[in-house]
Structure 1
Amino acid sequence: MTKLFEITADAISVDEVVSRLADPAIGAIVTFVGVVRGESEGRAVDHLEYEAYPEMAEEALSQIGKDTQTRWPTIQQVAIVHRVGRLEVGETAVVIALSAAHRPGVFDALRYAIERLKEVVPIWKKEVWADGAAWLSEQGSAGVTESGA
Structure 2
Amino acid sequence: MKIKTKFFGEIEVEEEKIINFPNGIIGFENLKRFILIDHPGSETIKWLQSVDEKDFALPVVEPVGFFPDYAPALCESDLKKLKLGSVEDGVVLAVLTVPQDVERTTVNLKGPIVLNPHERLGAQLIAENPEYKIKQPVAIFNKKET
Superposition TM-score, scaled by structure 1 size: 0.27
User: In proportion to residue count, which structure has more strand?
Assistant: 1
Give the helix-richer structure, 1 or 2: 1
Give the TM-score of the pair, scaled to structure 2. 0.28
